[in-house]
Structure 1
Amino acid sequence: MNYLDSTNNQYGGTYVSPKALPDSSDIFASQLNESLKIWRSQKIKVVWIKIPNARANLLPQLYQAGFMNHHCDADFMMLTLRLEDGAIIPPFAKHSIGVGGLVINANNELLTIREKDHIKTHPHNWKFPGGMLEPYEHIEDGVIREVLEETNIQTEFQSFIGFRHHHQGQFNTSNIYAVCRLKPLTLNITIQESEIFDAKWFPIEDYLADDKIGKYNHQILQSALKYPGLKNINLPGYMSSDQDYEVFMTL
Protein backbone atom coordinates (compact mmCIF):
# COMPACT_ATOMS: atom_id res chain seq x y z
CA MET A 1 0.00 0.00 0.00
CA ASN A 2 1.48 3.36 -1.02
CA TYR A 3 -0.80 5.48 1.17
CA LEU A 4 -1.87 5.60 4.83
CA ASP A 5 -5.08 3.82 5.74
CA SER A 6 -7.37 6.20 7.62
CA THR A 7 -10.94 6.43 8.93
CA ASN A 8 -13.15 9.41 8.15
CA ASN A 9 -15.33 10.99 10.81
CA GLN A 10 -18.64 12.85 10.69
CA TYR A 11 -16.92 16.23 10.87
CA GLY A 12 -15.08 15.97 7.58
CA GLY A 13 -11.84 14.82 9.13
CA THR A 14 -9.85 11.61 8.89
CA TYR A 15 -7.87 9.67 11.50
CA VAL A 16 -4.73 7.58 11.02
CA SER A 17 -4.33 5.01 13.78
CA PRO A 18 -0.94 3.68 14.97
CA LYS A 19 -1.77 0.34 13.31
CA ALA A 20 -1.54 2.02 9.89
CA LEU A 21 1.99 3.33 10.44
CA PRO A 22 5.02 1.69 8.82
CA ASP A 23 8.26 1.18 10.72
CA SER A 24 10.43 2.86 8.10
CA SER A 25 10.67 6.66 8.06
CA ASP A 26 11.31 6.63 4.31
CA ILE A 27 8.23 4.52 3.59
CA PHE A 28 6.17 6.72 5.91
CA ALA A 29 7.31 9.89 4.15
CA SER A 30 6.27 8.45 0.79
CA GLN A 31 2.90 7.22 2.09
CA LEU A 32 2.22 10.52 3.84
CA ASN A 33 2.93 12.51 0.68
CA GLU A 34 0.58 10.32 -1.39
CA SER A 35 -2.07 10.34 1.32
CA LEU A 36 -2.11 14.13 1.52
CA LYS A 37 -2.86 14.26 -2.21
CA ILE A 38 -5.74 11.79 -1.75
CA TRP A 39 -7.17 13.57 1.29
CA ARG A 40 -7.10 16.93 -0.44
CA SER A 41 -8.86 15.45 -3.50
CA GLN A 42 -11.50 14.02 -1.14
CA LYS A 43 -12.01 17.46 0.45
CA ILE A 44 -10.89 16.20 3.86
CA LYS A 45 -10.82 19.14 6.27
CA VAL A 46 -8.52 17.92 9.06
CA VAL A 47 -6.09 15.02 9.43
CA TRP A 48 -5.45 13.41 12.83
CA ILE A 49 -2.46 11.11 13.34
CA LYS A 50 -1.60 9.30 16.57
CA ILE A 51 2.09 8.55 17.02
CA PRO A 52 3.13 6.09 19.77
CA ASN A 53 6.42 6.70 21.52
CA ALA A 54 7.88 3.71 19.71
CA ARG A 55 7.29 5.48 16.38
CA ALA A 56 8.74 8.84 17.41
CA ASN A 57 11.12 8.58 14.44
CA LEU A 58 8.14 9.53 12.24
CA LEU A 59 7.60 12.92 13.88
CA PRO A 60 10.09 14.91 11.74
CA GLN A 61 8.22 13.99 8.54
CA LEU A 62 4.94 15.15 10.09
CA TYR A 63 6.39 18.46 11.24
CA GLN A 64 7.89 19.05 7.81
CA ALA A 65 4.43 18.47 6.30
CA GLY A 66 2.94 21.12 8.59
CA PHE A 67 1.37 18.97 11.28
CA MET A 68 0.98 20.52 14.72
CA ASN A 69 0.93 18.95 18.19
CA HIS A 70 -2.60 18.65 19.55
CA HIS A 71 -2.21 16.65 22.77
CA CYS A 72 -0.21 13.83 24.27
CA ASP A 73 -0.21 11.23 27.02
CA ALA A 74 2.58 9.19 28.55
CA ASP A 75 2.81 6.88 25.55
CA PHE A 76 1.67 8.83 22.47
CA MET A 77 1.47 12.16 20.65
CA MET A 78 -1.60 13.27 18.68
CA LEU A 79 -0.96 15.62 15.76
CA THR A 80 -3.30 17.45 13.41
CA LEU A 81 -3.13 19.14 10.03
CA ARG A 82 -5.79 21.55 8.77
CA LEU A 83 -6.32 20.98 5.03
CA GLU A 84 -9.22 23.41 4.68
CA ASP A 85 -8.83 27.04 5.75
CA GLY A 86 -11.00 27.75 8.75
CA ALA A 87 -11.71 24.09 9.50
CA ILE A 88 -12.46 23.61 13.19
CA ILE A 89 -9.99 21.67 15.30
CA PRO A 90 -11.45 21.35 18.81
CA PRO A 91 -8.87 22.32 21.43
CA PHE A 92 -7.75 19.72 23.91
CA ALA A 93 -8.92 19.93 27.54
CA LYS A 94 -7.62 23.01 29.33
CA HIS A 95 -9.16 22.42 32.73
CA SER A 96 -8.08 20.54 35.83
CA ILE A 97 -10.56 19.52 38.53
CA GLY A 98 -9.88 19.60 42.23
CA VAL A 99 -12.15 18.44 45.04
CA GLY A 100 -12.53 19.46 48.66
CA GLY A 101 -14.31 17.49 51.36
CA LEU A 102 -16.47 19.46 53.78
CA VAL A 103 -16.72 16.96 56.65
CA ILE A 104 -18.72 17.82 59.78
CA ASN A 105 -18.95 15.48 62.76
CA ALA A 106 -21.69 15.07 65.37
CA ASN A 107 -19.97 17.59 67.64
CA ASN A 108 -20.38 20.31 65.03
CA GLU A 109 -16.69 20.27 64.20
CA LEU A 110 -15.15 20.66 60.73
CA LEU A 111 -12.33 18.45 59.47
CA THR A 112 -9.43 20.75 58.46
CA ILE A 113 -5.82 20.42 57.37
CA ARG A 114 -2.73 22.52 56.83
CA GLU A 115 -0.49 21.54 53.94
CA LYS A 116 3.29 21.37 54.27
CA ASP A 117 3.77 23.49 51.15
CA HIS A 118 1.76 26.33 52.71
CA ILE A 119 2.95 26.25 56.29
CA LYS A 120 5.61 28.95 55.84
CA THR A 121 3.73 31.27 53.49
CA HIS A 122 0.18 30.69 54.82
CA PRO A 123 0.55 29.25 58.34
CA HIS A 124 -3.12 29.83 59.20
CA ASN A 125 -4.53 28.24 56.05
CA TRP A 126 -6.82 25.70 57.70
CA LYS A 127 -8.56 24.25 54.66
CA PHE A 128 -10.77 21.35 53.65
CA PRO A 129 -8.89 18.14 52.85
CA GLY A 130 -8.87 17.32 49.15
CA GLY A 131 -6.84 17.28 45.97
CA MET A 132 -6.92 16.64 42.24
CA LEU A 133 -9.14 14.09 40.53
CA GLU A 134 -7.35 11.23 38.83
CA PRO A 135 -8.09 10.58 35.12
CA TYR A 136 -11.60 9.20 34.59
CA GLU A 137 -12.40 9.43 38.32
CA HIS A 138 -15.83 10.59 39.47
CA ILE A 139 -16.12 13.59 41.80
CA GLU A 140 -17.82 11.47 44.49
CA ASP A 141 -15.10 8.81 44.40
CA GLY A 142 -12.28 11.34 44.20
CA VAL A 143 -13.28 13.47 47.17
CA ILE A 144 -13.80 10.39 49.39
CA ARG A 145 -10.38 9.06 48.31
CA GLU A 146 -8.58 12.36 48.91
CA VAL A 147 -10.04 12.84 52.40
CA LEU A 148 -9.06 9.28 53.32
CA GLU A 149 -5.52 9.68 51.94
CA GLU A 150 -4.85 12.97 53.73
CA THR A 151 -6.55 12.33 57.09
CA ASN A 152 -7.42 8.61 57.24
CA ILE A 153 -11.04 9.63 57.87
CA GLN A 154 -13.53 7.37 56.11
CA THR A 155 -16.55 9.23 54.77
CA GLU A 156 -19.83 8.86 52.95
CA PHE A 157 -20.87 11.23 50.16
CA GLN A 158 -23.87 13.44 50.95
CA SER A 159 -24.10 16.28 48.43
CA PHE A 160 -22.33 18.64 46.04
CA ILE A 161 -22.20 22.10 47.64
CA GLY A 162 -20.57 24.34 45.03
CA PHE A 163 -17.44 25.13 43.07
CA ARG A 164 -14.90 27.82 42.34
CA HIS A 165 -13.56 28.45 38.84
CA HIS A 166 -10.33 30.32 38.07
CA HIS A 167 -7.68 30.54 35.37
CA GLN A 168 -4.45 30.11 37.31
CA GLY A 169 -4.36 26.34 37.68
CA GLN A 170 -1.46 23.93 37.30
CA PHE A 171 0.51 23.99 34.04
CA ASN A 172 -1.38 27.07 32.74
CA THR A 173 -4.77 25.35 32.85
CA SER A 174 -8.01 26.70 34.24
CA ASN A 175 -9.23 25.00 37.40
CA ILE A 176 -12.58 23.94 38.83
CA TYR A 177 -12.51 23.30 42.57
CA ALA A 178 -15.60 21.36 43.66
CA VAL A 179 -16.60 21.15 47.33
CA CYS A 180 -18.71 18.23 48.56
CA ARG A 181 -20.45 17.58 51.86
CA LEU A 182 -19.30 14.28 53.40
CA LYS A 183 -20.46 12.38 56.46
CA PRO A 184 -17.63 11.04 58.62
CA LEU A 185 -17.72 7.32 59.34
CA THR A 186 -14.59 7.42 61.52
CA LEU A 187 -13.13 10.16 63.74
CA ASN A 188 -9.48 9.40 64.51
CA ILE A 189 -7.15 11.47 62.32
CA THR A 190 -3.89 10.12 60.93
CA ILE A 191 -2.23 12.58 58.57
CA GLN A 192 -0.55 11.84 55.25
CA GLU A 193 2.93 12.86 56.36
CA SER A 194 4.29 13.39 52.85
CA GLU A 195 1.89 16.30 52.15
CA ILE A 196 0.04 17.31 55.31
CA PHE A 197 1.59 19.31 58.18
CA ASP A 198 -1.27 18.75 60.60
CA ALA A 199 -5.03 18.27 60.78
CA LYS A 200 -7.76 18.73 63.34
CA TRP A 201 -11.46 18.85 64.03
CA PHE A 202 -12.15 22.60 64.11
CA PRO A 203 -15.27 23.83 66.01
CA ILE A 204 -17.49 25.41 63.36
CA GLU A 205 -18.28 28.51 65.44
CA ASP A 206 -14.57 29.15 65.92
CA TYR A 207 -13.85 28.50 62.25
CA LEU A 208 -16.46 31.01 61.10
CA ALA A 209 -15.31 33.57 63.68
CA ASP A 210 -11.67 33.32 62.60
CA ASP A 211 -11.00 36.25 60.25
CA LYS A 212 -7.75 34.64 59.08
CA ILE A 213 -9.67 31.85 57.34
CA GLY A 214 -10.24 32.44 53.62
CA LYS A 215 -13.52 34.11 52.65
CA TYR A 216 -14.37 31.35 50.17
CA ASN A 217 -14.12 28.66 52.84
CA HIS A 218 -16.29 30.74 55.18
CA GLN A 219 -18.92 31.30 52.51
CA ILE A 220 -19.18 27.75 51.26
CA LEU A 221 -19.31 26.39 54.81
CA GLN A 222 -22.20 28.75 55.57
CA SER A 223 -23.92 27.57 52.40
CA ALA A 224 -23.49 23.93 53.45
CA LEU A 225 -24.99 24.68 56.87
CA LYS A 226 -28.00 26.44 55.33
CA TYR A 227 -28.74 24.36 52.22
CA PRO A 228 -28.68 20.58 51.61
CA GLY A 229 -26.78 20.88 48.31
CA LEU A 230 -27.15 18.85 45.14
CA LYS A 231 -27.63 15.10 45.38
CA ASN A 232 -25.88 12.57 43.16
CA ILE A 233 -28.84 10.80 41.59
CA ASN A 234 -29.48 7.93 39.22
CA LEU A 235 -31.71 8.77 36.27
CA PRO A 236 -33.39 5.61 34.96
CA GLY A 237 -32.85 5.24 31.24
CA TYR A 238 -30.14 7.92 31.16
CA MET A 239 -27.14 5.71 31.86
CA SER A 240 -25.91 3.19 29.32
CA SER A 241 -23.31 0.46 29.37
CA ASP A 242 -20.69 2.59 27.62
CA GLN A 243 -21.40 5.98 29.25
CA ASP A 244 -20.82 6.47 32.95
CA TYR A 245 -22.23 9.73 34.27
CA GLU A 246 -22.51 11.59 37.54
CA VAL A 247 -25.66 13.71 37.78
CA PHE A 248 -26.05 16.29 40.55
CA MET A 249 -29.34 18.12 41.11
CA THR A 250 -31.81 19.18 43.76
CA LEU A 251 -34.57 16.74 44.71
Structure 2
Amino acid sequence: MNYLNSTNNQYGGTYVSPKNLPDSSAAFVSQLKESLTIWQTQKIKVVWIKIPNARAKLLPLLYQAGFINHHCDLNFMMLTLRLEEGAVIPPFAKHTIGVGGLVINDNNELLTVREKDHIKTHPHNWKFPGGMLDPYEHIEHGVIREVLEETSIQTEFHSFIGFRHHHQGQFSTSNIYAVCRLKPLTLDITIQESEIFDAKWFPIEDYLADEKIGKYNQQILQSALKHSGLKNINLPGYMPSDQDYEVFMTP
Protein backbone atom coordinates (compact mmCIF):
# COMPACT_ATOMS: atom_id res chain seq x y z
CA MET A 1 0.00 0.00 0.00
CA ASN A 2 1.56 3.28 -1.11
CA TYR A 3 -0.82 5.67 0.61
CA LEU A 4 -1.81 6.57 4.16
CA ASN A 5 -4.87 4.77 5.43
CA SER A 6 -7.27 7.35 6.85
CA THR A 7 -10.79 7.64 8.24
CA ASN A 8 -13.23 10.17 6.79
CA ASN A 9 -15.52 12.20 9.04
CA GLN A 10 -18.96 13.73 8.55
CA TYR A 11 -17.52 17.19 7.89
CA GLY A 12 -15.64 16.28 4.74
CA GLY A 13 -12.32 15.76 6.49
CA THR A 14 -10.09 12.74 6.91
CA TYR A 15 -7.92 11.59 9.82
CA VAL A 16 -4.66 9.63 9.83
CA SER A 17 -4.13 7.72 13.06
CA PRO A 18 -0.62 7.10 14.46
CA LYS A 19 -1.13 3.36 13.92
CA ASN A 20 -1.31 4.01 10.17
CA LEU A 21 2.05 5.78 9.93
CA PRO A 22 4.77 3.82 8.06
CA ASP A 23 7.97 2.90 9.87
CA SER A 24 10.40 4.93 7.77
CA SER A 25 10.49 8.63 6.91
CA ALA A 26 11.09 7.80 3.25
CA ALA A 27 7.98 5.64 3.11
CA PHE A 28 6.01 8.37 4.87
CA VAL A 29 7.01 10.99 2.30
CA SER A 30 6.03 8.68 -0.55
CA GLN A 31 2.71 7.70 0.99
CA LEU A 32 1.85 11.27 1.96
CA LYS A 33 2.44 12.49 -1.60
CA GLU A 34 0.21 9.78 -3.04
CA SER A 35 -2.43 10.33 -0.36
CA LEU A 36 -2.68 14.05 -1.03
CA THR A 37 -3.44 13.30 -4.67
CA ILE A 38 -6.11 10.77 -3.66
CA TRP A 39 -7.69 13.09 -1.07
CA GLN A 40 -7.89 15.95 -3.55
CA THR A 41 -9.56 13.63 -6.07
CA GLN A 42 -12.02 12.59 -3.37
CA LYS A 43 -12.66 16.29 -2.62
CA ILE A 44 -11.53 15.94 0.98
CA LYS A 45 -11.69 19.37 2.61
CA VAL A 46 -9.30 19.03 5.56
CA VAL A 47 -6.65 16.47 6.52
CA TRP A 48 -5.74 15.68 10.13
CA ILE A 49 -2.62 13.73 11.11
CA LYS A 50 -1.72 12.81 14.68
CA ILE A 51 2.01 12.47 15.38
CA PRO A 52 3.09 10.87 18.68
CA ASN A 53 6.28 12.07 20.35
CA ALA A 54 8.13 8.94 19.26
CA ARG A 55 7.56 9.92 15.61
CA ALA A 56 8.52 13.59 15.96
CA LYS A 57 11.00 13.28 13.07
CA LEU A 58 7.99 13.31 10.74
CA LEU A 59 6.99 16.84 11.77
CA PRO A 60 9.40 18.73 9.44
CA LEU A 61 8.17 16.59 6.54
CA LEU A 62 4.59 17.60 7.25
CA TYR A 63 5.53 21.27 7.57
CA GLN A 64 7.21 21.07 4.17
CA ALA A 65 3.94 19.69 2.76
CA GLY A 66 2.01 22.67 4.14
CA PHE A 67 0.59 21.19 7.34
CA ILE A 68 0.26 23.43 10.40
CA ASN A 69 0.02 22.70 14.12
CA HIS A 70 -3.50 22.55 15.50
CA HIS A 71 -3.13 21.28 19.07
CA CYS A 72 -1.05 19.00 21.25
CA ASP A 73 -0.72 17.43 24.66
CA LEU A 74 2.20 15.81 26.47
CA ASN A 75 2.19 12.83 24.11
CA PHE A 76 1.33 14.01 20.59
CA MET A 77 0.97 16.82 18.06
CA MET A 78 -2.12 17.12 15.86
CA LEU A 79 -1.48 18.75 12.49
CA THR A 80 -3.93 19.81 9.82
CA LEU A 81 -3.97 20.84 6.17
CA ARG A 82 -6.80 22.65 4.38
CA LEU A 83 -7.28 21.16 0.90
CA GLU A 84 -10.40 23.10 -0.04
CA GLU A 85 -10.24 26.89 0.04
CA GLY A 86 -12.52 28.25 2.74
CA ALA A 87 -12.97 24.88 4.46
CA VAL A 88 -13.58 25.33 8.18
CA ILE A 89 -10.86 24.24 10.59
CA PRO A 90 -12.42 24.51 14.05
CA PRO A 91 -10.23 26.16 16.68
CA PHE A 92 -8.92 24.06 19.53
CA ALA A 93 -10.21 24.56 23.09
CA LYS A 94 -9.25 27.97 24.46
CA HIS A 95 -10.77 27.78 27.93
CA THR A 96 -9.70 26.50 31.31
CA ILE A 97 -12.16 25.85 34.15
CA GLY A 98 -11.58 26.68 37.78
CA VAL A 99 -13.89 26.01 40.71
CA GLY A 100 -14.51 27.65 44.06
CA GLY A 101 -16.27 26.06 47.01
CA LEU A 102 -18.69 28.26 48.96
CA VAL A 103 -18.93 26.38 52.26
CA ILE A 104 -21.13 27.72 55.08
CA ASN A 105 -21.37 26.04 58.48
CA ASP A 106 -24.24 26.06 60.99
CA ASN A 107 -22.69 29.05 62.79
CA ASN A 108 -23.17 31.20 59.70
CA GLU A 109 -19.45 31.19 58.95
CA LEU A 110 -17.80 30.95 55.55
CA LEU A 111 -14.79 28.73 54.85
CA THR A 112 -11.99 30.94 53.47
CA VAL A 113 -8.31 30.64 52.59
CA ARG A 114 -5.36 32.86 51.78
CA GLU A 115 -2.97 31.50 49.17
CA LYS A 116 0.81 31.61 49.58
CA ASP A 117 1.35 32.90 46.05
CA HIS A 118 -0.69 36.05 46.75
CA ILE A 119 0.06 36.74 50.40
CA LYS A 120 2.62 39.48 49.68
CA THR A 121 0.65 41.32 47.01
CA HIS A 122 -2.86 40.68 48.39
CA PRO A 123 -2.49 39.98 52.12
CA HIS A 124 -6.22 40.38 52.80
CA ASN A 125 -7.42 38.19 49.94
CA TRP A 126 -9.62 35.80 51.89
CA LYS A 127 -11.16 33.70 49.13
CA PHE A 128 -13.13 30.52 48.61
CA PRO A 129 -10.98 27.38 48.52
CA GLY A 130 -10.72 25.97 45.02
CA GLY A 131 -8.57 25.49 41.96
CA MET A 132 -8.41 24.10 38.44
CA LEU A 133 -10.32 21.04 37.29
CA ASP A 134 -8.33 18.00 36.28
CA PRO A 135 -8.84 16.74 32.70
CA TYR A 136 -12.29 15.15 32.28
CA GLU A 137 -13.21 15.92 35.89
CA HIS A 138 -16.78 16.94 36.73
CA ILE A 139 -17.36 20.32 38.37
CA GLU A 140 -19.10 18.67 41.33
CA HIS A 141 -16.24 16.26 41.95
CA GLY A 142 -13.54 18.86 41.34
CA VAL A 143 -14.83 21.46 43.78
CA ILE A 144 -15.25 18.85 46.54
CA ARG A 145 -11.71 17.60 45.87
CA GLU A 146 -10.18 21.09 45.90
CA VAL A 147 -11.83 22.06 49.19
CA LEU A 148 -10.65 18.82 50.78
CA GLU A 149 -7.08 19.26 49.50
CA GLU A 150 -6.72 22.86 50.65
CA THR A 151 -8.53 22.71 54.00
CA SER A 152 -9.17 19.01 54.85
CA ILE A 153 -12.87 19.89 55.16
CA GLN A 154 -15.10 17.12 53.83
CA THR A 155 -18.18 18.36 52.00
CA GLU A 156 -21.12 17.30 49.88
CA PHE A 157 -22.46 19.14 46.85
CA HIS A 158 -25.43 21.45 47.35
CA SER A 159 -25.82 23.62 44.24
CA PHE A 160 -24.19 25.56 41.42
CA ILE A 161 -24.32 29.27 42.28
CA GLY A 162 -22.75 31.08 39.33
CA PHE A 163 -19.64 31.61 37.24
CA ARG A 164 -17.28 34.28 36.01
CA HIS A 165 -15.86 34.32 32.47
CA HIS A 166 -12.73 36.32 31.65
CA HIS A 167 -10.02 36.47 29.00
CA GLN A 168 -6.86 36.73 31.08
CA GLY A 169 -6.34 33.07 31.89
CA GLN A 170 -3.21 30.96 31.89
CA PHE A 171 -1.23 30.62 28.65
CA SER A 172 -3.37 33.20 26.80
CA THR A 173 -6.58 31.24 27.33
CA SER A 174 -9.97 32.38 28.59
CA ASN A 175 -11.15 31.10 31.96
CA ILE A 176 -14.45 30.07 33.51
CA TYR A 177 -14.54 30.18 37.30
CA ALA A 178 -17.51 28.22 38.65
CA VAL A 179 -18.65 28.70 42.25
CA CYS A 180 -20.62 25.94 43.96
CA ARG A 181 -22.22 25.81 47.37
CA LEU A 182 -21.13 22.86 49.47
CA LYS A 183 -22.38 21.52 52.78
CA PRO A 184 -19.60 20.87 55.32
CA LEU A 185 -19.46 17.39 56.81
CA THR A 186 -16.47 18.20 59.04
CA LEU A 187 -15.29 21.44 60.67
CA ASP A 188 -11.64 21.08 61.71
CA ILE A 189 -9.28 22.82 59.27
CA THR A 190 -5.86 21.50 58.30
CA ILE A 191 -4.29 23.56 55.54
CA GLN A 192 -2.45 22.30 52.46
CA GLU A 193 0.94 23.73 53.37
CA SER A 194 2.31 23.69 49.82
CA GLU A 195 -0.30 26.20 48.56
CA ILE A 196 -2.26 27.70 51.45
CA PHE A 197 -0.90 30.34 53.85
CA ASP A 198 -3.81 30.03 56.27
CA ALA A 199 -7.54 29.30 56.43
CA LYS A 200 -10.40 30.08 58.75
CA TRP A 201 -14.15 30.12 59.24
CA PHE A 202 -15.05 33.76 58.53
CA PRO A 203 -18.31 35.17 60.03
CA ILE A 204 -20.52 35.98 57.05
CA GLU A 205 -21.59 39.40 58.35
CA ASP A 206 -17.96 40.41 58.79
CA TYR A 207 -17.03 39.04 55.37
CA LEU A 208 -19.74 41.05 53.63
CA ALA A 209 -18.87 44.21 55.55
CA ASP A 210 -15.11 44.00 54.96
CA GLU A 211 -14.13 46.56 52.31
CA LYS A 212 -10.90 44.70 51.57
CA ILE A 213 -12.68 41.54 50.44
CA GLY A 214 -13.08 41.05 46.68
CA LYS A 215 -16.37 42.44 45.38
CA TYR A 216 -17.04 39.38 43.22
CA ASN A 217 -16.78 37.04 46.20
CA GLN A 218 -19.08 39.24 48.26
CA GLN A 219 -21.63 39.47 45.45
CA ILE A 220 -21.77 35.74 44.78
CA LEU A 221 -21.99 35.02 48.51
CA GLN A 222 -25.02 37.32 48.71
CA SER A 223 -26.53 35.48 45.76
CA ALA A 224 -26.01 32.12 47.49
CA LEU A 225 -27.72 33.41 50.63
CA LYS A 226 -30.76 34.59 48.67
CA HIS A 227 -31.19 31.79 46.12
CA SER A 228 -31.09 28.01 46.23
CA GLY A 229 -28.90 27.73 43.12
CA LEU A 230 -28.92 25.15 40.34
CA LYS A 231 -28.97 21.44 41.07
CA ASN A 232 -26.98 18.72 39.32
CA ILE A 233 -29.73 16.96 37.38
CA ASN A 234 -29.54 13.42 36.03
CA LEU A 235 -31.07 12.96 32.57
CA PRO A 236 -31.42 9.22 31.85
CA GLY A 237 -30.55 8.42 28.25
CA TYR A 238 -29.06 11.85 27.54
CA MET A 239 -25.59 10.36 26.97
CA PRO A 240 -24.25 6.80 27.06
CA SER A 241 -22.89 7.26 30.59
CA ASP A 242 -23.52 9.61 33.51
CA GLN A 243 -19.75 10.09 33.59
CA ASP A 244 -19.93 11.91 30.24
CA TYR A 245 -21.83 15.01 31.34
CA GLU A 246 -23.16 17.34 34.03
CA VAL A 247 -26.38 19.33 33.75
CA PHE A 248 -27.17 22.13 36.20
CA MET A 249 -30.68 23.60 36.29
CA THR A 250 -33.45 24.57 38.66
CA PRO A 251 -35.16 21.53 40.19
Q: Mark yes or no: TM-score above 0.5.
A: yes
TM-score (norm 2): 0.98
Which residue is equivalent to 1:102? Answer: 102
2:192 & 2:7 partners in 1: Cα distance?
A: 48
1:210 & 1:19 partners in 2: Cα distance?
A: 59
* Post-superposition offset of 1:239: 3.6
* Post-superposition offset of 1:242: 8.2
Q: Which amino acid aligns with 1:195?
A: E
TM-superposition CA deviations, 1:44-71 (whole Å, max 9, x none):
0000000011111111110000100011
1:243 & 1:210 partners in 2: Cα distance?
A: 40
* Post-superposition offset of 1:243: 6.5
Note the residue ranges of structure 2 that are not aligned, 5 or more in a row. Answer: none
Which residue is equivalent to 1:61? Answer: 61
Work out whether residues 23 and 55 of structure 1, in 8 Å CA contact, stay in contact via their aligned partners in 2: no
Note the residue ranges of structure 1 that are not aligned, 5 or more in a row. Answer: none
1:242 & 1:144 partners in 2: Cα distance?
A: 18
* Post-superposition offset of 1:237: 2.9
* Post-superposition offset of 1:123: 0.3
TM-superposition CA deviations, 1:149-169 (whole Å, max 9, x none):
000000000000000000000
Which residue is equivalent to 1:149? Answer: 149
1:242 & 1:229 partners in 2: Cα distance?
A: 21
Which residue is equivalent to 1:211? Answer: 211
Number of positions where the alignment pairs a residue of Structure 1 with one of Structure 2: 251
Which residue is equivalent to 2:89? Answer: 89
1:41 & 1:30 partners in 2: Cα distance?
A: 17
Which residue is equivalent to 2:30? Answer: 30
Runs of 4 or more, structure 1, over 4 Å off, are: none
* Post-superposition offset of 1:236: 2.7
* Post-superposition offset of 1:8: 0.6
Superposition pairs for residues 3-22 of structure 1, below 5 Å?
3-22=3-22
Q: Which amino acid aligns with 2:151?
A: T
Which residue is equivalent to 2:177? Answer: 177
1:206 & 1:102 partners in 2: Cα distance?
A: 16
Q: Which amino acid aligns with 2:22?
A: P
Summarize the Cα distance change of 1:120–1:203 in structure 2 as closer, same or farther, 3 Å threshold: same
1:23 & 1:135 partners in 2: Cα distance?
A: 32
